[in-house]
Amino acid sequence: MKRLSVLIMILMLGMACTTEAKERKISGKVISAEDASALPGVNVVIKGTTNGTITDVNGAYEIIVPDQGGVLIFSFVGLITEEVTIGEKTIINVAMSADVAQLSEIVVTGYSRKNKRVAKEAKPMYAPTYEYEKSEVAQNQLIISDFDQEEFNTEEYDAIHENSFLEATKNPLSTFSIDVDAASYSNVRRFLNNGQMPPKDAVRIEEMVNYFNYDYEQPTGDIPFSVNTEISTAPWNDKHKLVHIGLQGKNIPTDNLPPSNLVFLIDVSGSMSSTNKLPLLKAGYKLLVGQLRPQDNVAIVVYAGAAGLVLPSTSGKNKNAILNALNKLQSGGSTAGGAGIKLAYKVAKENFKPEGNNRVILATDGDFNIGESSNAGMERLIEQKREEGVFLTVLGFGMGNYKDSKMETIADKGNGNYAYIDNILEAKKVLVNEFGGTLFTIAKDVKLQIEFNPAKVQSYRLIGYENRALRNEDFNNDKKDAGELGSGHTVTAMYEIIPVGVKSKFNPIDELKYQKTEIDPKSINSNELMTVKLRYKQPNGSKSKLIEHPLLDEQIDLDNTSNNFRWAAAVAEWGMLLRDSEFKGDANFDQVLQLAKNAKGKDKQGYRIELINLVESCQIMAKK
């Protein structure tokens, strides 16, 4: 009997252990509440434990949970964290919404606090597995604690000296490079969302205008872009004309794009530890990984006190390997930007695809302080590498120590583009919605030269593009670098014109005393206001092609212009108000809002309604 009791007790204990150890599998998919797209890289954790996983490139996940259930926590930088009670469920699908407030910071000017500084050992970056190049500073150097150091606002912007009016008889030509960068708009948005007006030099009007896509005609034939023009009255000065020039890049379906050889160059220095820096950066790159095809390859190079290769060139088919490498990145150390860029170009060259898209994608706050750190040094390095066929995309993150001037410089010199990522939705816009335009160049060294008819144009002013101006001689010089146009990209430029016979305080100079400028009688009889000339090269070409587009003086009423015209005019007018431009004329927030609201159009992604909300917020702040 005693033996039987012991046997029963043993069986009962075994059953209890079995019950305690019983587990089950939960699976599901995580999507964006905005547009139902899959969200890769979302953290899925059982609450109160370290048991977790991440979603794959399709937003799918599987996790083993205790049979009695619990709570699953779904988290992703820039999205609202979701908690779901497991209960009896075996499939749990989640839709996550944006949480822009999570990424907000307070800009501190001068000292934020004066606590005693405590030095501690830097957290190591993800240890390189395959290759390692030491910099001048050891990786285990001491840094100041992120929490105890005195904080400064050390953001840097190049001064902008606005284009002034030029007399057409003495300056008949205007020459500049296109600009598809949009960093200024998202950076301005960041300031306004934090309750601050942006610095004037952070407002580059052409980048604000070009943040938005326009409904231009698709090109036909062999030319990679179409030319679209329109003339009406300048909204801020009814005596002046406004000329709108729009380029539309050929939209190439992603499946038909050439294979990519990409190198993710990631700043993992101590300055990147903030939520809206490395964590947001990793989340953005995970979205890009979801767009990769099997024929695409990605390598990952990181830099802090040293530069290292953490993932060799890997097929886009093996997305989990790329995601796992991203997940392991940590911040710490100084900023060996020069060493990182050199290593990234070396890796790109070793895996070069002759007929493909070879590109380094640099993600940083721009705060280079070790090695090749000066703008001039970076320019020379980037210029040298672009000639080898490797282009550059620059993604900016963070605030407080943000180096806009340096980021823009290296992007311009690297045959690439520049975007500022202030939240996860912007990362999605740049790396998912505009994937082709961001990464695939269809025309390079695109230049515009406008010749004005002095019989009709007294003087003119190019709105924005101050740092893209070229000498007139540069237009026909194929050795002169200019901007690149990506698949599906649009580029918009505007000229404000003072017609002949109009008296204006902006008339540039008095009549000459000793000489007269003769106007060709053919110009007087011509109905042409100006001629738009463009030069461009094929992505792998060295000789440019010329396009000429005469523009007839056929002005239409502002109310009858296209949404393209009125939207671009509204953004430009807002930019002039933000800059307190001497050329703003009668510009005002009410007029900007009226123009923008009437020209919003379909706005499928909601970018235009966001601008309208920003202008309304800006109007309130301006009245204080």
Average pLDDT for 392-400: 87
Q: For residue 27, what pLDDT is reported?
A: 94
Q: CA-to-CA distance for 499 and 456, rounded, in angstroms?
A: 6
Q: For residue 561, what pLDDT is reported?
A: 96
Q: For residue 374, what pLDDT is reported?
A: 57
Q: For residue 591, what pLDDT is reported?
A: 97
Structure tokens that stand for 480 in this block: 């002169």
Chain segment 231-246, per-residue pLDDT in tens: 999 999 999 999 999 9
Average pLDDT, the chain: 83
Chain segment 235-282, per-residue pLDDT in tens: 999 999 999 999 999 988 877 888 999 999 999 988 888 888 899 999
DSSP state of 352: -
Q: For residue 356, what pLDDT is reported?
A: 87
- Partners of 291 in the β-ladder: none
Q: For residue 557, what pLDDT is reported?
A: 95
> Is the pLDDT confidence value at 373 over 60?
no
> Is the pLDDT confidence value at 19 over 70?
no
Q: For residue 334, what pLDDT is reported?
A: 66
Rg of the chain over Cα atoms, rounded to whole angstroms, equals 28
> Is the pLDDT confidence value at 342 over 70?
yes
Residue range 166-252+442-511+519-623, CATH number: 2.60.40.1230
Q: CA-to-CA distance for 498 and 467, rounded, in angstroms?
A: 23
Structure tokens that stand for 410 in this block: 């290296």
Q: For residue 540, what pLDDT is reported?
A: 82
Q: For residue 104, what pLDDT is reported?
A: 42
> Is the pLDDT confidence value at 290 over 80?
yes
> Is the pLDDT confidence value at 106 over 70?
no
Average pLDDT for 44-65: 84
Average pLDDT for 137-165: 58
Residue 377 in contact with residue 338, Cβ under 8 Å? yes
Residue 605 in contact with residue 213, Cβ under 8 Å? no
Q: Is 595 in a helix, a strand, or coil?
A: helix
Q: For residue 337, what pLDDT is reported?
A: 67
> pLDDT band at residue 545, thresholds of 50, 70 and 90?
very high
Q: For residue 481, what pLDDT is reported?
A: 86
Average pLDDT for 375-386: 72
Token pair 């994937």 in the structure block, residue: 435
| Percent of the chain at pLDDT exceeding 70 | 84
Q: For residue 245, what pLDDT is reported?
A: 97
Residue 120 in contact with residue 324, Cβ under 8 Å? no
Q: Is 378 in a helix, a strand, or coil?
A: helix
Chain segment 193-231, per-residue pLDDT in tens: 888 899 999 999 999 999 999 999 999 888 899 999 999
Of the listed ranges 6-20, 219-233, 511-525, the least confidently predicted one is 6-20
Average pLDDT for 398-414: 80
Average pLDDT for 468-476: 95
Structure tokens that stand for 545 in this block: 């092609």
The CB-side HSE value for 619 (13 A sphere, CA atoms) comes to 14
Specify whether the backbone of 389 is left (phi greater than 0), alpha (psi in -120 to 50) or beta: left
Structure tokens that stand for 309 in this block: 């290769």
In CATH terms, are 21-98 and 254-439 the same topology? no
Q: Where are the domains of the chain?
A: 21-98, 166-252+442-511+519-623, 254-439
Average pLDDT for 496-516: 83
Residue 342 in contact with residue 381, Cβ under 8 Å? yes
Q: For residue 340, what pLDDT is reported?
A: 83
Q: For residue 370, what pLDDT is reported?
A: 46
Q: For residue 128, what pLDDT is reported?
A: 35
More confident residue, 175 or 10: 175
Q: For residue 5, what pLDDT is reported?
A: 56
More confident residue, 91 or 1: 91
No. of H helices and E strands in the chain? 14, 26
Q: For residue 241, what pLDDT is reported?
A: 97
DSSP state of 603: -
Homologous superfamily, domain 21-98: Carboxypeptidase-like, regulatory domain (2.60.40.1120)
pTM: 0.78
> pLDDT band at residue 389, thresholds of 50, 70 and 90?
confident
| Percent of the chain at pLDDT exceeding 90 | 46
Residue 330 in contact with residue 126, Cβ under 8 Å? yes
> Is the domain 254-439 a CATH 3.40.50.410 member?
yes
